[in-house]
Amino acid sequence: MRLSNSESEAGQLRRITPGGVSSPVRAFKPFPLVIDSGQGCRITDIDGNDYVDLCMAYGPLIVGHSCPRVAKAVRDQTKKGSVFGAPSHPETKLLEKITSTVPSAEMCRMAVSGTEATMHAVRLARGYTKKNGIVKLNGGFHGAHNTVLVAAGSGSVNGTPSSLGVPEDDVRNTYLVEYNDAGMFESLLDRNEDIAGIIMEPVMGNVGVVTPKKGYLAEMRKITKEHGALLIFDEVITGFRLSAGSAQGRFGVTPDLTTMGKIIGGGYPAGAFMGKREIMEMVAPNGPVYAAGTFAGNPVSAAAGLETIDIMAEKGRYDSLEKKTQTLVARMRDALEDSGVRGCIQSIASMFSIYFGVDEVTNGSDAQKADRDMFAEMFDYMLHHGVYLPPGPMEVEFMSAAHDEEACEKIAKTFEGFLKQVKK
């Protein structure tokens, strides 16, 4: 496989941008590939190598790269203009769609990214409850703003910043609990009356895929209600991925606030936070909680997001995507078991993740025990055999409506090939 063009451009990038990437998860050794194009479930690098894509830009592309219908919606909108700094028709239609589909969304406010959405939701929770404390999950990622940038680590203790430049004061009111442990959360709320709410992914997607134990989400709903704290579901990954009603629709648990990003922009930058009318009415200009953005509700992103959501709303789309994913995952699990290599594959709907060296992952602490070196070996093998995974072991493999049988066969065969050459 010739990679000289990528190698040279990656070198150029390293000189002009930190690590040669615009977001740290994209970096890998010896150098990240520079991508030229994407079509359906495949991408092509600038040396002309093709890959079946399982990264899918970390989640937005549920209908695949360069989906013709999404591309047309974008073309049609760009002919009319790209941003107005005023309400626009695509934004109205997307807001209508979200508020009529997502159970918690009585009202919704658009933003530009998932980071912005969670930043605004956290501020809103604090403003509405007039409390300061925010609880997050060990291993939960909600973007790159101060309150949620707290080191993973077990124990319901105040966090320490996980980045230089985050003042300790900014995370003094951030508390950590483990996923799938409602008791730990309840005892924190019993001890502390200043908790505005918890921000959590209903299905964890930043320590690989970790699903809720039976009754856990309902229990979190009950506990927050009893303690006057808000339940915020961060559905930046799971929004419009787990079902049309997102994770909350699938599990039948309605949070007070929800954040989204990724799919609602159909491959273009977008974010949104939404929730109960009474809470959302606190947002400026109606109320005293500030949220704003030049590009918020961008009409091009809205047109792309709307088309994506409409495609997935067609009968049978979610079911067939899930079936295809689960057939692939079952085959990969069989291969893993037959190989004798210790590990597990966790999955829901069209997301899955592969862990080595552990049998099950139920929370952020478990995920830390997985064998990262083995993952890196697999990543390298898959890449050199034409399957592009997200480089990090704590990321999710994303399937899309565009993944065809040939692609699934290639993923499974390549994974089997990797397992065969693992030295035990």
Ligand X SMILES: Cc1ncc(COP(=O)(O)O)c(C=O)c1O
Q: Does 113 bind ligand X (CB under 6 A)?
A: yes
Q: Check residue 391 for interaction with ligand X (CB under 6 A).
A: no
Residue 111: closest CA among 213, 231, 262, 217:
262
Cβ closest to ligand X, residue 49 vs residue 118: 118
Does residue 143 belong to the site contacting ligand X (CB under 6 A)? yes
Contact set for ligand X, span 202-261 (CB under 6 A):
205-206, 234, 236-237, 261
Using the rule CB under 6 A, give the single segment among 1-9, 27-35, 107-115, 329-337 that binds ligand X: 107-115
Q: Which residues contact 402 (CB under 8 A, 6 or more apart)?
A: 40, 41, 63, 64, 65, 67
| Residue of closest CB approach to ligand X | 114
Q: Nearest 5°: phi and psi at 205?
A: -135, 10
DSSP string, 400-418: -TT--HHHHHHHHHHHHHH
What's the closest the beta carbon of residue 166 comes to ligand X, in angstroms?
A: 16
Which region, judged by CB under 6 A, interacts with ligand X, from 79-87, 138-146, 305-313, 373-381? 138-146
Interface map 39-58 toward ligand X (x if CB under 6 A): -------------------x
Task: Give 186 or 234: the residue with its C-beta nearer to ligand X.
Answer: 234
Please identify, using beta-carbon distances, which residue of 229 and 237 lies nearer to ligand X: 237
- Indicate the SS3 state at residue 353: strand
Least spacing, CB of residue 207 vs ligand X, in Å: 11
38 binds ligand X (CB under 6 A): no
Q: If we measure between CA atoms, which residue out of 109, 94, 113, 100 comes closest to residue 302?
A: 94
Shortest spacing between CB 280 and ligand X, in angstroms: 19
Spatial distance between the Cα atoms of 415 and 98, rounded to a whole number of angstroms = 37
Contact residues for 116 (Cβ-Cβ < 8 A; gap 6+): 143, 271, 293, 296
Distance separating alpha carbons of residues 363 and 380, to the nearest angstrom:
26
Chosen residue from 114, 197, 249, 299 binding ligand X by CB under 6 A: 114
Q: Which of residues 270-289 bind ligand X (CB under 6 A)?
A: 271
Q: Is 142 in the site for ligand X (CB under 6 A)?
A: yes
Exposure b/e, 78-99, CB count within 10 A at least 16 = b: eeeeeeeeeebebbebbbebbe
Residues of this chain that bind ligand X (CB under 6 A): 58, 113-115, 118, 141-143, 201, 205-206, 234, 236-237, 261, 271
